Each structure stands twice: as structure tokens, then as C-alpha cells.
Amino acid sequence: MAEMIDLARSSVQTWQSDQMGHLNVQFYLEQATQALAALGLHLGLGPRFVAGEGARLFARDHHVRFLREQRPGAPFTLRGGVLDVRDFGLRVYIEMYNTVSGEVAASFAVDVELMDDETRETKPLPARAKTAAKALMIDLPAHGAPRGLEIYPPRVAPTLAEAEEMKLVFTWQGEVQTAQCDSQGFLVARHFMGIVSDGIPNLLGKTRGDDRSKNSKVGGAALEYRFHYHSYPKAGDVLTLRSGLKSVGPKTYIWGHWLFDLETGKAVATAEAVAIALDLETRKAIPIPEEMRVQLEAMVAPGLGV
């Protein structure tokens, strides 16, 4: 097996931090996308290939683990390799680590496909790209394996009508802005995650009565996420998010999120996440109070999932 190769390097900026004072989840995904572009270059799928063939690597499914908080000023590097080679895509692994300490901050196991830039139709991988990918094969590190989530084949894409019937919580709605899209006008991966992140305060308000603007001592954090992308919305599309509880444990709970095109009612992405309550002074997880846990268990929505 090969060693992982460095793919991207940057640092955490203050403006990328959220109410909890750490790097917001959407920017982890942005960095993983930067790293994927560099990996494509190593596979012979770099800018010249993209310009000539009109196709590049895009994520179809992300499994993300957040292992350590990243605060403003932290320097980081992303490295990665290939886990599996397929006719129409790859399964790749990327991890973010602190450039100074070497501690791994986050891991990304990603199913990627070669897609047409304009149509997002999947295309077969060139033979030379498969050969290059096989030279970059690595084993999945233990810290990159699923922990709180089960990685199963995606369910049949839900519809907005199904979400309404399940009485999922209305957590976000808005128009896709040009600034959120790539040069072809499609929503980038960062903003799928950003939409869910922006909807979380509404979800907590509706399910627990929390208002984060009035509580400076208790917040929350995601430990693990999975996103499956059914389609790529374009600038001007109006999206709506429905969310609910999949399960509740002693310290963690799993939220489910379904993102739809409001005009067609079709799913554009499905996601689930393992989350904790976080003491913002000690930066440690807080057990769910028994009374709250019982209340949350009554809100679990059967059938919710990616």
C-alpha cells in the first residue's frame, strides 16, 4: 500500500468560526473539496483534463468524522489516498491534521464520480486515471472508520410530501445564490453542509426550546456526518430543509436532514449526523438530562435516514 500524499494546506480564519468558537462544519467540507481537486491532478484529471474533456471529480457521498476542534489560527494540512477503484468513480480518503502537532482533526471517506461539468452526468474513468489511482491505494485508518453512524446503501430518495407526512421540522428555506455555486452554476458541497448548519438553531428551537443567542455556556457540536448527494441544484433554485431525530442515546443523538427542491418536491441531498451538547467553558460533552432524553425519544421519526 502507498503512503498518503499531502493535498492542501491552510489555516483556520476567525470568520470561518461559528457560535461555538470553532471552525464551522461547512469549511471542513470546503477544504476536503480543495484536496479532492489536488488528488485529481495526481490522477491525470487536473485542470488541462477538465478544460479538454469538460469533466471532473465530484462527491456523491461524504462520510465525515470531526475528531478535534479547530480554533482560529490553527494551521492544518490535508493528505489522502485512494481506497477503491471503480469503473465510474473512486472511494477516496482524506484527512485534515494540525501542521505543527500532527494530530488528526477530521477524516473524510468520499465516494467520487467523474461527472460532466455542464450536465452532471456520470462518465467512465479513463484507464490512465484508474492506473494512477491504483498506485495511490491506502488502507482506511481506524480513526476514519464509522463510529456512531452505520454506512448503508442510500434509501430511495424521499419526497417533500413524505417529509410533510412524517411531520419533520421545517428548519431552513432559501434561494441558491450565485456566490454559493461553482463556475457552472451548481451548488458546491460546502453549502449543502452550510444549509444544514444554518438550520440547526431552528431545529433546536422547535425540538428543545433552545435559543443559542440567549445561552453562552451551552452549545453543540457534530461528531460525525454523512451526506448523500442526489442532484446538484443551480443558482436560482429554491431549496427547503426538513429535519428530525433518528435516534437518541445517553450522550449523543442522531439528527436526520432531507433537503428538497421546493418547486419539484424532489430530494437533492439526504444527511444524518451524530451530535452532542457541548459545555462551552470546559469544551466537553454534556450528558443529556434524563427528562430531556425522554422528551427527545418521543420525537424520533421512524424511516428517517440517508
The Cα–Cα gap between 192 and 231 comes to: 11
Whether pLDDT at 285 is above 80: no
Residue found by looking up cell 465510474 in the block: 88
Whether pLDDT at 277 is above 90: no
Top-tier CATH class for 1-145: alpha beta
Q: What percent of the chain has pLDDT over 70?
A: 94
Whether pLDDT at 236 is above 70: yes
The Cα–Cα gap between 248 and 105 comes to: 25
121-136 residue pLDDT tens? 999 999 999 999 999 9
C-beta separation of 215 from 52 below 8 A: no
Q: What is the pLDDT of residue 255?
A: 94
Coil, helix or strand at residue 265: coil
Cβ burial, residue 190 (10 Å; 0-12/13-18/19+): buried
Which residues 6+ apart lie within 8 Å of 37 measured at CB? Answer: 56, 57
Whether pLDDT at 218 is above 70: no
Residues of the chain with CATH 3.10.129.10: 1-145, 155-306
Whether pLDDT at 213 is above 70: no
Q: What is the pLDDT of residue 212?
A: 63
Mean pLDDT of 245-265: 93
Q: What is the pLDDT of residue 88?
A: 87
Whether pLDDT at 68 is above 80: yes
- HSE-up of 295 (CA within 13 Å, CB side)? 10
CA dist 88 to 61, 129, 237, 306, Å? 14, 11, 28, 21
Q: What is the pLDDT of residue 76?
A: 98
Mean pLDDT of 227-254: 94
Mean pLDDT of 216-240: 89
C-beta separation of 76 from 36 below 8 A: no
Cβ burial, residue 206 (10 Å; 0-12/13-18/19+): middle
140-161 residue pLDDT tens? 999 999 999 999 999 999 999 9
Question: Considering the chain, what is the average pLDDT of its residues?
Answer: 92
Thinking of the domain 155-306, which architecture would CATH place it in? Roll (3.10)
Which residues 6+ apart lie within 8 Å of 112 measured at CB? Answer: 36, 57, 58, 59, 60, 89, 90, 91, 92
